[in-house]
């Protein structure tokens, strides 16, 4: 039952986006700051994007000429640098970025629970739950990729059913296997809803980009608030089985 101190949490498509909007408005500045920080910490991916075009070599300050031995050496050097930057990007993607993303998701859950968002969650994972976060992210990634190779549809199903893993890892402090199993259990009967929410979220983000680009931030805040609302709604609907398992 909704009280004056709580949002109306119903695991329904319309209610989740509606409550998500209220959560965003009520915590706008705090959630805006979270989204800004998350945008900044993903910037290194752009720094590591290494593009190599052979046609650019003729316009460079060096003279390649017709010395193929030197040309092959230079091409090998570029290949080494490209591999190095690619490795850095991959390490960052799997060992650093998930900590911020999982922590950011938990901050949105706090907002849904009407708890003052704790910004320490953005880095708390490095100190308290790092290994579980990294392993859970890797496990979900591997399962989704395997599903996508199996005619794509299974990958989409797995992605929807494991949508709560990041919340569970931060909220219930379960290990990766338990988090995956619990997410699968919680999302039973809500798979289509998660899929359609994800589908609609794409258009919300696109609309945000069309609003002079800056609209992307409120769009992301709304989407994140809506999915955090769904997690909390389903958790309450299932009578918080996560707490039972964690005991």
Looking at residue 89, its pLDDT comes to 82
Q: Are 31 and 107 in contact (CB under 8 A)?
A: yes
Q: Are 75 and 67 in contact (CB under 8 A)?
A: no
Looking at residue 70, its pLDDT comes to 55
Looking at residue 74, its pLDDT comes to 58
Using DSSP's 3-state secondary structure scheme, residue 65 falls into: coil
Looking at residue 62, its pLDDT comes to 45
How do the pLDDT tens digits run along the chain, 247 residues long?
444 568 989 999 999 999 999 999 999 999 999 999 999 987 665 545 544 454 544 444 444 455 555 556 556 666 676 777 788 888 888 999 999 999 999 999 999 999 998 999 999 999 999 999 999 999 999 999 999 988 889 999 999 999 999 999 999 999 999 999 999 999 999 999 999 999 999 999 999 999 878 899 999 999 999 999 999 999 999 865 444 444 3
- Distance from C-alpha of 104 to C-alpha of 166, rounded to nearest angstrom: 10
What residues have CB less than 8 Å from 118, skipping those under 6 apart?
107, 110
What are the phi and psi torsion angles at 174 (to 5°)?
A: -85, 165
Q: How many residues does the chain have?
A: 247
Domain ranges of the chain: 13-42+98-246
Looking at residue 240, its pLDDT comes to 57
């Amino acid at each position: 039952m909704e009280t004056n101190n709580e949002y109306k949490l119903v695991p329904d498509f319309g209610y989740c986006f509606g409550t998500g909007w209220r959560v965003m408005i009520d915590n706008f500045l705090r959630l805006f700051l979270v989204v800004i920080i998350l945008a900044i910490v993903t910037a290194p991916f752009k720094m590591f994007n290494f593009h190599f075009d052979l046609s650019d070599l003729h316009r460079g300050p060096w003279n390649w000429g017709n010395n193929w031995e030197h040309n092959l050496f230079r091409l090998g050097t570029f290949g080494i640098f490209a591999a190095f930057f690619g490795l850095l990007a991959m390490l960052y993607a799997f060992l650093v970025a998930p900590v911020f993303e999982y922590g950011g998701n938990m901050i949105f859950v706090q907002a849904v629970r009407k708890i003052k968002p704790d910004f320490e969650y953005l880095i708390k994972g490095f100190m308290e739950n790092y290994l579980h976060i990294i392993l859970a992210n890797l496990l979900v990634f591997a399962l989704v990729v395997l599903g996508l190779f199996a005619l794509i549809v299974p990958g989409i199903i797995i992605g929807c059913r494991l949508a709560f893993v990041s919340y569970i890892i931060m909220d219930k402090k379960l290990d990766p296997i338990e988090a995956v199993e619990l997410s699968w259990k919680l999302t039973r009967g809500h798979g289509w809803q998660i899929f359609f929410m994800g589908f609609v979220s794409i258009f919300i983000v696109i609309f945000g980009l069309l609003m002079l680009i800056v609209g992307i931030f409120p769009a992301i805040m709304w989407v994140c608030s809506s999915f955090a609302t769904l997690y909390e709604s389903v958790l309450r609907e299932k009578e918080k089985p996560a707490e039972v398992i964690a005991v």
